[in-house]
Structure 1
Amino acid sequence: MGFEELGDDELIRWLGGWIANVAGTVDVAAAGDTENAGKITVSIQGDLVRLELNQAAKRMQPDSLSRAIERGYVQAYREALHQVGQVFDRIEQDVAGNAVLRRRIRRIREEHRDRSGLRRMLKRQAQRQEPTWDPAADPLRHRI
């Protein structure tokens, strides 16, 4: 893959680039209800990416729908965490022939497996990315 030459910081930033794009998507349904009311997608950062409700959601009581969305949010975030594990599993498979690199990947995985570790990794990735122009904060591009 070409990342054998990367130092640990660069490798973590590279991994963070992959992981920053991970999101989990699950169905939204009321507890005990088999009818799907939509889908919810949550990023690994915990941001709501997308909420799609269908006609079944219109038939639900508002409090029941809000609880279903909350449950779906938690499940989608757990799915995103699961997918991060799959990213690490795939990378370990790809570098299985290089024992040194595999140990480095496993060590990095161990250091970043919890929420605070993921935050550190994603923060490094965010610092590397150039800030984007925000029209709401600076509509005339004055760079204020």
Structure 2
Amino acid sequence: MNSDIWSTDMGLRTYRRANRESSGSPFDGPRGRKRAVQTRAEITGWGKCVPPVSLSNADLERLMDTSDEWIIERTGIRNRQLSHVETTDLAELAARGAPLACAGMDAANLDLVVVATCTPEILCPSVAARVSSIGSAPQCRCL
């Protein structure tokens, strides 16, 4: 392999780009033939759910010896949301509402559930797997 074309810093995309024929497209195989499989995906809907209870720095000032300026200076936090339910329940609420309505589909037709959270209750199974099993979509993939 030519070190001018490939290095770990440049990555696989750069390697492929450097070795592609100048007239070919990314979907062209050897000698310009079309590849048999082309992958297509689209996001048909998404949702979010924010807990309704809010706790501001001013509220914390009344509860403990701190100030709004002190908290903002050290953390950048001005306000935080509090929830009485688990992350999975919030994710399910987010998934059942607008995304499915916007896409004009029901949970049984989902192909993939993607959940992004930095506060899961448990590590395994993932929040996405738990949401898909609750939401009548046990056959779909989860991230």
Normalised by the shorter chain, which TM-score bucket? under 0.3
Report the TM-score, using the length of structure 1 for normalisation. Answer: 0.27
The one of the two structures with greater contact order (alpha-carbon pairs below 8 A, sep at least 6) is 1
> TM-score scaled to structure 2, two decimals?
0.27
The answer to which structure has the higher helix fraction is 1
